[in-house]
Amino acid sequence: MFSFVKDPDATLDYKADWTLWLDGDVIATSQWLVPTGLTEEATSNDDNTATVWLSGGILNTKYEVINRIVTNAGRTDDRTFTIRIRHK
C-alpha cells in the first residue's frame, strides 16, 4: 500500500499503474472508492493505468482510497492507498 501527504487546499492526481498485474490483459472499467471528506474531481483510465483527481480533506486526517478495476478477461481487483492531510 502506498501513502501520500496532501495539503487540504491542493487538488492533485493519483495514478494506479496495473501494468505488471495485468500481464497482457487490459482495464475494461475503473472505479474509485473515495471516502467522505475527500472530493473526487475527475477520473480517467487507459489500458494499464487508472487516475483520480482529489481535492479537500480535513487537516490531520488519514483517508484510504481504493481503485477497483475489472479487466477485459473478467478479473476484478482492488488497490488501496492512504492519503494523510497535512499543511505543506
pTM assigned to the model? 0.94
Number of domains, the chain: 1
Dist CA 63 CA 84 (whole Å): 6
pLDDT at residue 2 is higher than 90: no
Mean pLDDT of the chain: 97
User: Once rounded to an integer, what is the mean pLDDT over residues 35-44?
Assistant: 98
Sign of the CA dihedral running 80, 16, 26, 35: positive
Q: What was the pLDDT predicted at 22?
A: 98
Angle, CA of 44, 46 and 48, to the nearest 5°: 120
- Residue 13: give the domain boundaries: 2-85
Residue 5: the pLDDT is 97
**What is the domain-level CATH number for residue 31?**
2.60.40.10
